[in-house]
Structure 1
Amino acid sequence: MPPSVPGRDAEPPGRRTPESSRFPKLRLDRGTGPDDPPPPVASARFPDAPPTAGPATGAPASAAVPPPRTEPSAGGIVETTERLHRRPFVPDRPVVTLAQPDTRAVAATRPWRLALRPRPRAAAAAACLVLGLGLIGGAATGSWLTGEETGDGARGAFAVAGSLWHSTPVDRFFPPTVDGTGAGPGGADRTWTRIAVAPDSGCQDAFDPLLRQVLAPAGCLRLLRATYTDATRSHVTTVGLLFTRADAAAMGVLHSRFKDEGLDRRTDLLPRPYAAKGTVAAAFGDAQRASWTISVLTDAPVVVYAVSGFADGRTVTEPQPAADALKAGATTAPAQAGLGNEAAGLADRVEAALRRTFASATEKPS
């Protein structure tokens, strides 16, 4: 039982209200008689200092407050009042405002977390770099797959022409029959029939040693050759297509050298014929060479040449370039026999067929 508080728990029996009779340990702090003090105002219900005894009790002021207790009260009301009485008085509470957090302390204590976060500008630059490299790689791959050069159209056509030797049928380069309208002496017509096609090979033994040395800077990628005869089967002519490894600049240099130095007219720079066994050209060897022509192209890595002779195997001691044998008034044996016309006529038409072939190969679809 909690100790009674003088002046507060003592109450005449005749003045008990129904509530106090039902709950004897509870006392409502409200006036029940004329001698009781009036109820406190709302702000004084929980005073900051212990209450003093009222005049009805007659007890001194020091006896109005019970001593501190360490155990809780059974009724709970008195203990709760004591704890409220003991609460320290806080005159003015500080006003708290929310501000932006100071990230400098976070950066000083956890620098590794901030370092792991990439900067937006650096991330955007890296993404642009990867995208740019992907676009460049895709464009280069597309050009390679389509066979196009990264330069202008002329360079693309030049490269395509240099690769035609392994994908073009032999009849496109060397037709079985070649029509030579107006290609004979005095503008006479000629017709040439193909009698043999040499297997595609390298340039070894295809040229005289000195001519091979002159052509060496251009390189030898592949050599294609075929031998024709005229309608009378008295003349034989070998036509060759030398596909080089040179680029357009190197072919231009070679072309200028042949023209400026007259290398296409020297008798020590002759191409060799292809003498096919079992044909009328079986006896067509180096000693039977009578006239020739050599043309270095600048729009394709190709050297076109032709060499002609007699089908009966007769020896020619003074071969003559086709350009000289075609001149009016030429009296040499090759000129009189029309062998210059044979070499020049066939070379011109094979070269024209070659140009048509790589023109159609480089033509873009509309």
Structure 2
Amino acid sequence: MGLLTGAVTGSWLAGDSGDDGARSAYTEAGDLWHSVPVDQLFPPTLLGKGAGPGGADRTWTRVAVAPDADCAGAFDRLLAKALDPVGCSRLLRATYTDATQNYVTTVGLLFTKADAAAMTALADRFEKQGLGRREDLMPLPYAAKDTVAAGFGAPQRASWTVSVLTDAPVVVYAVSGWADGRTVDEPEPAEEAVESGAASAPAQAGLGHEAKGLADRVERALRKNIGTPTEHPS
């Protein structure tokens, strides 16, 4: 059973309450990739009040959703190796653009096979070793034909963020770039690009805010579905 579209939402029935009560929120979170519709994980429109540079508001529109898949070929070799200890159950990705269509950002939800202890260990490693800020561990974008993101490939990556959750078996990431297909010689992690006084081209364009803002809001959308009754297609 793959990623569900919003069109089938109305046909769902609530699952057995006894089964739901026996499942932990952590376990339930790991099943969200096939138990909630795509529009709840990657809303068609996301509002980012105060999410832009200087506290400016942002509005993002989803332009493409990748078919749900395993992780084969989805990450560069070094990032795949760094994530290998937690395994890959399913990978969901969507690409958004801002209101001006000048920027594009891919957001990913990697549903892992790991227990809470393994996720905590990976989160600690990312934090202590600064793995989320390493350019050679930058996530790959999802480019979709006939969209504003059609030219969004690896050379176009400008800013990124990777967040390893510890209360759910999920890694949330985002990577942003310009929609005109320009290549980026010096990408900058979002954590640094959003700092006051950051002078890099990605920072000046607000691409760190794009990556961080979208990752934060997709993570919030994910959390809204944790703890709700599990639903199944009829």
Are 2:119 and 2:165, in contact at CA under 8 Å, matched by a contact in 1? yes
> Is residue 126 of structure 2 the alignment partner of residue 258 of structure 1?
yes
Are 1:180 and 1:345, in contact at CA under 8 Å, matched by a contact in 2? yes
> Is residue 19 of structure 2 the alignment partner of residue 146 of structure 1?
yes
TM-score between both structures, scaled by the size of structure 2: 0.89
Residue by residue over 1:273-313, the C-alpha shift from the partner in whole angstroms, topping out at 9 and shown as x without a partner, is: 00000001000000000000000000000000000000000
Counterpart position of 1:182:
50
Residues 39-78 of structure 1 aligned to structure 2 (within 5 Å): none
**Displacement, 1:361?**
3.6
After superposing on structure 2, the runs of 4+ consecutive aligned residues of structure 1 that deviate more than 6 Å are none
> Where in structure 1 are there 5+ consecutive unaligned residues?
1-142, 150-154
> Is residue 230 of structure 2 the alignment partner of residue 357 of structure 1?
no
User: Which amino acid in structure 2 is aligned with residue 238 of structure 1?
Assistant: T
Residues 204-219 of structure 1 aligned to structure 2 (within 5 Å): 204-219=72-87
Decide which structure has the larger Cα Rg and report it.
Answer: 1
> Is residue 38 of structure 2 the alignment partner of residue 170 of structure 1?
yes
Are 2:28 and 2:227, in contact at CA under 8 Å, matched by a contact in 1? no
Query: How many percent of aligned residue pairs carry the same amino acid?
Result: 68
Hey, what's the Cα distance between the residues in 1 that align with 2:146 and 2:110?
25
Q: CA RMSD in A?
A: 1.5
Counterpart position of 2:182:
314
Are 1:160 and 1:361, in contact at CA under 8 Å, matched by a contact in 2? no
Higher relative contact order (CA 8 A, sep 6+): 2
**Displacement, 1:144?**
11
| 3-state SS of paired residue (1:359) | coil
> Where in structure 2 are there 5+ consecutive unaligned residues?
1-15
**Displacement, 1:206?**
1.4
| 3-state SS of paired residue (2:184) | coil
Residue by residue over 1:237-291, the C-alpha shift from the partner in whole angstroms, topping out at 9 and shown as x without a partner, is: 0000000000001001000000010000000001100000000100000000000
Residues 196-345 of structure 1 aligned to structure 2 (within 5 Å): 196-345=64-213
Hey, what's the Cα distance between the residues in 1 that align with 2:77 and 2:20?
36
Hey, what's the Cα distance between the residues in 1 that align with 2:131 and 2:166?
16
Hey, what's the Cα distance between the residues in 1 that align with 2:149 and 2:178?
9
| 3-state SS of paired residue (1:203) | coil
> Is residue 61 of structure 2 the alignment partner of residue 193 of structure 1?
yes
TM-score between both structures, scaled by the size of structure 1: 0.57
| 3-state SS of paired residue (2:158) | strand
User: Which amino acid in structure 1 is aligned with residue 227 of structure 2?
Assistant: A
Hey, what's the Cα distance between the residues in 2 that align with 1:293 and 1:246?
21
**Displacement, 1:202?**
0.8
Counterpart position of 2:12:
none
Q: Which has more strand, going by share of residues? A: 2
Hey, what's the Cα distance between the residues in 2 that align with 1:317 and 1:361?
46
> Is residue 214 of structure 2 the alignment partner of residue 346 of structure 1?
yes
Counterpart position of 2:24:
156
Hey, what's the Cα distance between the residues in 2 that align with 1:324 and 1:318?
13
